[in-house]
Amino acid sequence: MLQPPCDLLLRHGRLLTCNSLIEEVDVAIRAGRFIAVAPTLDLPTDQELDLAGQFVSSPFVESHIHLDSALTAGEPRWNQSGTLFEGIEIWRDRKQHLTLDDVQTRALATLKQQAMQGVLFVRSHADVSEPSLTALRGLLAVREQVKDWMTLQVVAFPQDGIYGNPQNETLLEEALKLGADGVGGIPHYELTREDGVRSVQRVFELAHQYGCFIDLHCDEIDDDQSRFLEVVAACAIRSGLGARVTASHTTAFGSYNNAYAQKLMGFLSRSQINFVSNPLINITLQGRADTYPKRRGITRVKELWQQGLNVSLGHDCIQDPWYSLGTGNMLDVAHMAVHVCQMTGLDEINACYDMVTVNGAKTLNVVHDYGIEVGKPANLIVLEANDRFDSIRRRAPIRYVISQGKVLTGV
């Protein structure tokens, strides 16, 4: 029987199989989906690309970024201390001047930059602690604008705390009514420890009420007494929401004593929550109050991974008050994690690649649409590399980005 031609046939790609071996395959795509993946395919096709043995991977997943503040470094002033808290103050000034156009232009430029580097799934935080909710409205509009080539999730993030100001709790709920995908919090920046605890509880109530996922900035500080992660774990265990919950940053976990950390690790396993670490940012933001020895201020990525918990990695910032560098390249993030978390064994380096791909897809809860398998949406990238290790070592250039069956040549 005559086969209808496929839209795109990729020949001679090196693909990672489910048992971590590399196999040379051809990949056929029709109507935006994978229709065949096999060692040799003989199908009529409209377009064919010879990959010449280059590494074929599922796209990168950016599981934590602040698109609302991207590309604002130096506005209105530079972060001289390099701390999280000076960054929050600078942003507080900058956000008084947000317009929808300003947010949308910067967010779109950033997303295009990310897509051209193989990122096709992004979770962004949107600050909802200013009364017009301009950051959130802007990112919700962008979510629609990019949906043909990028999956964007928007988290309502109360940067100044839920209880730091009488209107913030209402603004957070308003953001969920406007259609935010997720609800966030910042318990370590609430005015008191008690406020921090009840902010986490409130976030769980809102998630239940609005049916959204949870992604909290949690314990992003070097204070070994910042212990909101245990509150998140407790709420997740009691609510059974674990897989829909993410604890981002959790840098204080790097400062906890081992006896407490060991006990906590058991609770975290029970909770089955996801973790996002942002090594580029936290290696620069944290440790600022230390002299020497100076802490790294990174959560226990290696130990969480060894425990079988889901850990993904994010960029967090691209040229904003917290981090003036950044390109959107997820291999920079993975490369930094390898160093800062001392994940230098081969399995560990490969795991860091997984943390910017498949683990990110788990955090974003998009696994049903993620992976190079027949029937799934045809999203993939081709790297000038042999495998995961080689991609990270060389921070390999991206040769092709294929989004929903189309080769992106510019978006």
Residues near ligand 17E, by CB under 6 A: 66, 84, 159, 186, 217, 220, 281, 316-317, 322
- Based on CB atoms, which residue is closest to ligand 17E, 66 or 388? 66
Return the number of the residue (186 or 378) whose C-beta is nearest ligand 17E: 186
Is the Cβ of residue 159 or residue 226 nearer to ligand 17E in the bound state?
159
Least separation in angstroms between CB 393 and ligand 17E: 27
Pairing state between β 406-407 and 398-403: antiparallel
Quick one: 127 or 173, whose CB is closer to ligand 17E?
127
Each residue 308-327 as x (binds Fe ion by CB under 5 A) or -, in order, gives --------x-----------
Element counts in the chain: helices (H) and strands (E): 13, 16
Residues 308-327 as b/e (b if ≥16 CB within 10 A, e otherwise) read ebbbbbbbbbbbbbbbbebb
Sequence-distant (6+) residues with CB within 8 A of 384 are 54, 394, 396, 397, 398, 399
In the complex, what is the shortest distance from the CB of residue 322 to ligand 17E, in angstroms, rounded to a whole number? 4
Q: How far is the CB of 326 from ligand 17E (least distance, A)?
A: 10
Nearer to Fe ion, 219 or 316 (CB): 316
Query: Which residues 6+ apart lie within 8 Å of 346 measured at CB?
Result: 389
Among 89, 220, 303, 373, the active-site one is 220
Residue 292 burial (CB < 10 Å; 0-12/13-18/19+)?
Answer: exposed
Which ranges constitute the DSSP H helices of 292-341?
Answer: 301-306, 330-340
In the complex, minimum distance from the CB of residue 152 to ligand 17E, in angstroms, rounded to a whole number: 17
Pairing assessment for the beta strands 380-383 and 398-403 based on DSSP bridges? antiparallel
* Residue 220, binding choice from ligand 17E, Fe ion, none, Cβ under 5 to 8 Å by partner class: ligand 17E
Measured distance CA(66)–CA(87) in Å, rounded: 13
What does the alpha-carbon distance between residue 366 and residue 171 come to, in Å, rounded to a whole number?
28
CA–CA gap between residue 146 and residue 85 (Å, rounded): 32
**Residue 135 binds which one of Fe ion, ligand 17E, none, with CB within 5 to 8 A depending on kind?**
none
State how far the Cα of 409 lies from the Cα of 386, in Å rounded to an integer.
23
List the single partner that 233 binds among Fe ion, ligand 17E, none, CB under 5 to 8 Å by kind. none
Is the Cα dihedral 329, 330, 333, 334 positive or negative?
Answer: negative
- With CB under 5 to 8 Å by kind, the binding choice for 322 among Fe ion, ligand 17E, none is ligand 17E
Least distance CB 278 / ligand 17E (angstroms) = 6
Instruction: Note the Cα 155 to chain centre separation in Å.
Output: 11
CB nearer to ligand 17E: give 317 or 343. 317
**Cβ of residue 260: shortest distance to Fe ion, in angstroms?**
24
281 binds, among Fe ion, ligand 17E, none (CB under 5 to 8 A by kind): ligand 17E
Decide if 86 is catalytic.
no
Q: Which does 140 bind (CB under 5 to 8 A by kind): ligand 17E, Fe ion, none?
A: none
Which residue's Cβ lies closest to ligand 17E? 322
Element (H, E) at 35: strand 33-38
Catalytic positions are: 220
Give the binding site for Fe ion (CB under 5 A): 316
